[in-house]
Every structure is written in C-alpha cells, then in structure tokens.
Amino acid sequence: MRVLLAGASGAVGTPLTRQLVAAGHEVVGITRSAATAGRLREGGTEAVVADVMDRDGLLAAVRGVRADAVVHQLTALGTTKMRQAMRDTNALRTTGTAHLLAAAHAVGARRFLTQSIVFGYGYRDHGSHVITEDDPFGEPTTGLVGPAVAAIRSTEEQVFAADGIEGVALRYGLFYGRDSFVRMIVDLVRKRRLPVPSSGGGFAAFVHLEDAAAATVAALEKGRPGQAYNIVDDEPVRWADFLDTLAAELGVRRPRRVPTWTLRAIPYVHTLMTTSMRVSNARAGRELGWTPTVPTYREGIPLVVSG
C-alpha cells in the first residue's frame, strides 16, 4: 500500500517507516520540519511538510498526493513539560484526528489507523481482571486525566465513524525502547528521584517500540475495520518489579519505597503508579498474527539500557 504517515520521525514512526518499507509498502511522511523532511527523503521516503493542527495548510500540502491508507502516530509527549505535553497530545488526538481524516479523503485513502493507548480503559485499579478489547473504553472521568481519556476516546470514535473509511485503533501499552517512556525515566532511577509505593504499585502494560511498529504493519494489512487491538507484551508487571529491574540493569540502588499517599504531591506519578491493569494481547495474536519479539520487561529493559 501507499501510506501517508503522520509522525514518521517519532518514537513509533521511525521504526514503523523502516518496517513498512521492508514489507513492500510506500511511505509518505508528514512532518512540520523541513530538515526532518530532508532526512526522510535522503532515506528514500517521500515527505510533505505540514502542521496537522492547521487544516488548510495540511490539505494544501497533500494536494496531488495519493495514498491507500493514513496512519496517525502523532503525540507531543517528551517535547515539553508534562502538563503542556498532555494538552498538546489531547489536541492531536481530537482536532488532529479530524484534520487527518479530511486529508485521508483528499488523498483517496480508504484505511485509517490511529494511535490509542490502554489507559483508555481507565486510570484506576482494575484488580485481577484481564482486560480485553470487549471491556468498556473511554468512559468519562474527572481530574488530571479526564481530558486525556476523552481525547483517547475521541480519536477512536472519529476513525470508526468516518464515512468511507476502514478505521482501526491500536491500543498500545507504555513504550520501551529508544526515545521511549522508559528512556525518560532512566535518569530519575539513576538519581533515585522516582520513588515507588511501599505496596509495590499497580500492574502496568508495556510494549517495545519495534514490536509496536510490527503490530501496526500487521494491522494495516490484516486489521478488521472498526476494530481496536491491544498492543502490549505478554506479561503485566508491577511497578516495583519493573523499576527494581531497571535499577539493577543500571547498576544503581533500587528506588526508595514511600507510602502511597506521599506520591499525591506528584499527581501524574501517583495516578500512574496506582493504576493497575492486566491487559491481554490475545486478539492481536489471533487476528493479526502478531506476537511480541520482546515478550516481557526482562528482555526489554536491557535493550533500553544498552541502546
């Protein structure tokens, strides 16, 4: 297929571009930076320069481009302070999705894949329940994460409801790999500045960036229209175990244990570490033929640290 990829130079987009080309697809990357567009072209990938948040500018940039599919992999995470990054990412998932759907119609695309995330199941303790795609998703919530959950739901609903579009959503776990969530916390763990609840915290779902990209290629080729897929590794992990393993790989002392309530002073960390979810990737295995090559955090953490 010929794929219009928003976020071609991002954390998922970089390995995804490489894997799409290796699978025989053509990629046209969307980037705001002329310099990045130049690097994409040097690597043999077509590119257009556009800001997805500027609808008219985006449509002008893709005039004359033809594509079979559009893939939305844009976030603002890691580009600025957390609160602003979350607001900007929410905008990319709401307004940005609408603009990319307009671009999809303009380029003649029939298929649209969007980046979602397992936290749409709710930032809370889900107990021992194993979460599948049949569980409620994007239910309204309040507080710090309310707008984020609403934005996650919005990108999925827009894509599933779009006329003439085969919409697929990829509900990724937290990423580890180069330029990933785990890379962001390595320095905090080195300096023992990321404490862990004395309870051990909740269970989290991770996925390596290369595996996330492979699942996206599989979903492009085989995903059912109107379907969401959980893209996570094989084993949920408690935060204490994950961060202790990371500390051991770094050769530093394990994170400090603190009463859970003390983390309320760091609202997002408190929310993240008290959320607990065991997420199943079985549907992606059955329908996409995808299995993670990095099956658990035990294999993934050394790859992050060595990379």
Least confident of 18-22, 32-36, 290-294: 32-36
pLDDT, residue 178, reads 75
pLDDT band at 77 (very low <50, low <70, confident <90, very high): confident
Tell me the average pLDDT across 23-33.
95
pLDDT, residue 81, reads 76
pLDDT, residue 127, reads 97
Alpha helices in 7-54 (DSSP H): 13-22, 34-42
**pLDDT single digits (tens) 272-287:** 999 999 999 999 999 9
Residue 79 has pLDDT above 70, yes or no: no
What are the tokens at 107?
Answer: 């380029």
On the 0-12 / 13-18 / 19+ scale of CB atoms within 10 A, 22 is: exposed
Residue 298 has pLDDT above 80, yes or no: yes
CA 74 to chain centre: 9
pLDDT, residue 43, reads 86
Average pLDDT, the chain: 94
Residue 263 gets which letter from DSSP?
Answer: G
Residue 113 has pLDDT above 70, yes or no: yes
Distance (Å, whole) CA 189 – CA 83: 21
pLDDT, residue 237, reads 97
**pLDDT single digits (tens) 146-189:** 999 999 999 999 999 999 999 999 999 999 887 777 878 899 99
Q: What is the DSSP annotation of 200-213?
A: ---EE-EEEHHHHH
Tell me the average pLDDT across 213-237.
98
**pLDDT single digits (tens) 253-279:** 999 999 999 999 999 899 999 999 999
Least confident of 96-100, 101-105, 178-182: 178-182
SS3 140: coil
Does residue 59 contact residue 103 with C-beta atoms inside 8 Å?
yes
Q: What percent of the chain has pLDDT over 70?
A: 99
Does residue 150 contact residue 138 with C-beta atoms inside 8 Å?
yes
Residue 204 has pLDDT above 70, yes or no: yes
pLDDT, residue 84, reads 86
Residue 86: which H helix or E strand, with range?
Answer: helix 82-107
Residue 9 has pLDDT above 70, yes or no: yes
Helix, strand, coil share of the chain (percent; to 5): 45, 20, 35
Does residue 36 contact residue 55 with C-beta atoms inside 8 Å?
no
Residue 190 has pLDDT above 90, yes or no: yes
